[in-house]
Amino acid sequence: MRIIPAIDIIEGKCVRLTKGDYNTKKIYNENPLEVAKEFEASGIEYLHVVDLDGAKASQIINYKVLEQIATKTNLKIDFGGGLKSDKDLEIAFNSGANQITGGSIAVKKPTIFESWIAKFGAEKIILGADFYPDNSGGKIATNGWQEESSLELIPFISDYQQKGIQYVICTDISKDGMLQGPSFNTYSKILKECHSEQSEESLKLIASGGISTFEEIPKLEEIGCEGVIIGKAIYENKISLKELEKFILNK
């Protein structure tokens, strides 16, 4: 299972929010490149970068930070936040993104999102399935989590899997930044129910939101998650880079 630390960016700085609320912003480092280099020095190969300014503005904003990290480290970066047009994607890929994540666009303009899968290839496009939990499993949220759609989580993922999507980042918004543990049951259910007859590729599910202790990581691997995004738990020293380095070395 891939370990993918998160760097969220507002005004060029490395920040974390709680449940996606911009009013809870906490700055952890003025220089995201410093943070990225620290991750790389610990044997980490992947990075999840979210342009929170871009998510609000509905267009890419912090591509210079992406470019800096991409040119000065060897990290494979997936980049998201406000990507709405082909031009946004071209800027992201030209700035060094290895993959991009589309969430709101996949809900509101599915034709555009599907065209990206066709144009850039399924290995380059990640579906962002960010949800508010409810009795049926969850409803997909959009626009930097400011809005809730009527789309249900599992059918949403399943539909896109039929359209060629392989990678899905799934965030339980109610757990994001809370350090109370991830949505194990939801991830198990997704992996059980989402399969594609048209594709031999199994779903590459990336867990996100609520990771709080190192012990949760092997548990997510056991469920079948392909990757895990870790944010606040690293910044608040709940999970050390030494522990993650050891986990990676033992693979």
pLDDT, tens digit, 9 for 90 and up, residues 41-68: 999 999 999 999 999 899 999 999 999 9
pLDDT tens, position by position, 78-101: 999 999 999 999 999 999 999 999
**Residue 19 vs residue 146, higher pLDDT:** 19
Task: Give the whole-angstrom CA distance, residue 71 versus residue 1.
Answer: 25
Whether pLDDT at 10 is above 90: yes
Whether pLDDT at 198 is above 60: no
How much of the chain, in percent, has pLDDT values that exceed 90? 86
Q: How many CB atoms lie within 10 A of CB 11?
A: 13
Q: What is the structure's pLDDT at 180?
A: 95
Domains parsed from the chain with CATH numbers: 2-249 (3.20.20.70)
Task: Give the whole-angstrom CA distance, residue 168 versus residue 67.
Answer: 24
Active-site residues, by number, are: 8, 130
Structure tokens of 1? Answer: 């299972």
pLDDT tens, position by position, 208-240: 999 999 999 999 999 999 999 999 999 999 999
| Confidence grade of residue 144 (pLDDT, cut at 50, 70, 90) | low
How much of the chain, in percent, has pLDDT values that exceed 70? 96
Whether pLDDT at 2 is above 80: yes
Provide the residue type at 75 as one letter: L
Whole-model pTM: value is 0.95
C-alpha 146 chain-centroid distance: 17
Whether pLDDT at 104 is above 60: yes
What is the DSSP secondary structure assignment for residue 76, as one 8-state letter?
A: E
| Confidence grade of residue 143 (pLDDT, cut at 50, 70, 90) | confident
Burial class from Cβ neighbours inside 10 Å (0-12, 13-18, 19+) for residue 134 reads: exposed
Supply the mean pLDDT for the chain. 94
Q: What is the structure's pLDDT at 141?
A: 86
Whether pLDDT at 157 is above 70: yes
Q: How many CB atoms lie within 10 A of CB 235?
A: 21
Task: Give the whole-angstrom CA distance, residue 174 versus residue 214.
Answer: 20
**Alpha helices for 8-164 (secondary structure H):** 32-41, 52-57, 63-72, 86-94, 104-108, 110-120, 153-162
Q: What is the structure's pLDDT at 1?
A: 96
Whether pLDDT at 196 is above 70: no
